[in-house]
Amino acid sequence: MNPPTVSSTPVLRTTLLWSAAATAGLAVIGALVGWAVGGVDGLWSALVAVVLAAVFLGFTGASILIANRWYGDPLYVPIFFGLVMGAWLLKFVLFIVVLLSLRDQPWLNGPVFFVALVASVLVSLAIDVVVMLKMRIPHVSDVTLPTAEEVAEGAADRPARDDTARED
């Protein structure tokens, strides 16, 4: 028997795949524009910004996909929130550490880094919106409805209702 899947899993997988393709495109464009604007330092600044954005934006989707593996387990909710919040806190701390360590690097071109980082985040947000609009997810998901046989069995177990013999 296959374990049950959560309806968010295909959405997150699609988002991560599209984001990986967009990251490759942004890396090429960012490298070319960074090199044209700031030389080799601009090239590396743009590449670092694009990769940094991709890694940190992918953290959330990946942590949810990993947490969804426990769907159906009685401890799913605490595992889910523990993994997602732990990944968010780790991402937050690592992002601050990386930015503080990059701040004083002589090769970092600040404006190129900033524009590449903002462009990467905006592209990621656009991908999230497009995927959410294109995916077909039922309004009520992750619910198992009874089959016709189960409904019939349930009706057979109940006593017949006699509306003619009313007690007033």
Q: What confidence tens digit (pLDDT) does each residue in 118-163 have?
A: 999 999 999 988 988 888 776 666 667 788 888 888 766 666 555 5
Q: Classify burial at 160, counting beta carbons within 10 Å of its beta carbon; exposed 0-12, middle 13-18, buried 19 or more.
A: exposed
Report the Cα–Cα distance between both ends of the chain, in Å, rounded.
52
Count CA atoms closer than 13 A to 78's CA, side-chain side: 2
Strands (E) in the chain, as ranges, are none
Between helix 8-67 and helix 110-134 the angle, nearest 10°, is 120
Rounded to two decimals, the pTM is 0.73
Q: For the segment 60-75, what is each residue's pLDDT rounded down to a tens digit?
A: 889 989 998 888 888 9
